Amino acid sequence: AQSVTQLGSHVSVSEGALVLLRCNYSSSVPPYLFWYVQYPNQGLQLLLKYTTGATLVKGINGFEAEFKKSETSFHLTKPSAHMSDAAEYFCAVSDLGVVRSGSNYKLTFGKGTLLTVNP
């Protein structure tokens, strides 16, 4: 079974500071990994994803994440936080091993990390 652990339910940074949101996963097969962002009272929006290939993935709004197989991690970073980055962020994993025609492809989400940005 796959699982996701997000370290820190709440992260607070100053505007202009580095953003680091941590995500560790458990999967018996090579995973697909995702970061989603949720603004208040809205649905989830994809920030970035890793499926295969380059382990450093760039997403929207200046975010990036690096897949580290040896550490089973997929941490999200942004060099300089903006006030508009304040939101809840979710890491998600799906087992590549079950990805085939007719398979039960689905995502398992972490519990989320609320990011606040202080002026």
Partner 1 sequence: NAGVTQTPKFRILKIGQSMTLQCTQDMNHNYMYWYRQDPGMGLKLIYYSVGAGITDKGEVPNGYNVSRSTTEDFPLRLELAAPSQTSVYFCASTLYPGNTIYFGEGSWLTVV
- In the complex, the smallest distance separating the C-beta of residue 71 from partner 1, rounded to whole angstroms, is 21
Question: What is the contact surface with partner 1 in residues (CB under 8 A)?
Answer: 9, 32, 34, 36, 41-46, 49, 51, 90, 94, 96, 99-100, 102-112
Give CA–CA dist 25/15, Å, rounded: 29
CB of 26 to partner 1, least distance (A): 15
| Cβ-count burial 36-56 (b if 16+ within 10 Å, e if not) | bbeeeeeeeeebbbbeeeeee
- Lookup result for tokens 């697909």: 32
Residue 102 CB, nearest approach to partner 1 (Å): 6
Nearer to partner 1, 17 or 99 (CB): 99
Minimum CB separation from partner 1 for residue 30, in Å?
A: 11
Reading the block at residue 29, the tokens are 């097969």
DSSP 3-state of 73: strand
